[in-house]
Amino acid sequence: MVIVVGNPANTNCLTACKSAPSIPKENFSCLTRLDHNRAKAQIALKLGVTSDDVKNVIIWGNHSSTQYPDVSHAKVKLHGKEVGVYDALKDDSWLKGEFITTVQQRGAAVIKARKLSSAMSAAKAICDHVRDIWFGTPEGEFVSMGIISDGNPYGIPDDLLYSFPVTIKNKTWKVVEGLTINDFSREKMDLTAKELAEEKETAFEFLSSA
């Protein structure tokens, strides 16, 4: 398994994948678990629960400010029962506005506040990422991971390293299928895919001239 953390993580991971064709593409992944954990934390803070009470948030796309933190399919445990995050919060404008930008820009906000990067949070996210690859995801839960987009069911172009919701079993990831994608999500997902395609083009132009 090859896990890429250094930014631009998605495009660096794709470059590594292309540079090592003897290693299966499926063995490469990049870290979007830090964003995933941040999205869970923001929901938990808003609802006054712990991050462990929130599951199935999704980070779509690039580990950048175009990433799309999506809670359309997320659940939260409230008063002993699981409910949808949208139903629990009843604040669509926050979920479609401030929540998204907070998660997108959280890394920059931490650096601005601390004058240092969020190294411990990243280390925790790497541990979460590796643990789930090794031991699998719990039944009924999925996590976010930057993986090769080939053959995905969500209309994202092939040959990008894109963050999807995945389940993991026997050290093999599988993209979660059948999630409904509304127009708001579609636009956000396509925007981050476009950025990744542009990054890929720039990186490969550079590599071919090197």
| 36 assigned to active site | no
Q: Which two tokens stand for residue 172?
A: 């093999």
Could you give the count of Cα atoms lying within 13 Å of 2 in the half-sphere of its Cβ? 24
Say if residues 99 and 69 touch (Cβ distance below 8 Å). Answer: yes
Choosing from 63, 73, 79, 129, which is the catalytic residue? 63
Q: Give dist(CA 54, CA 167) in Å, integer.
A: 16
Contact between 37 and 121 under an 8 Å Cβ cutoff? The reply is yes
Give exposure, 170-201, as e/b (b: 16+ Cβ within 10 Å). Answer: eeebebbeebebeeebeebbbebbebbeebbe
Tokens 């209309």 belong to residue:
155
**CB distance 100 to 81 below 8 Å:** no
Residues catalogued as catalytic: 63
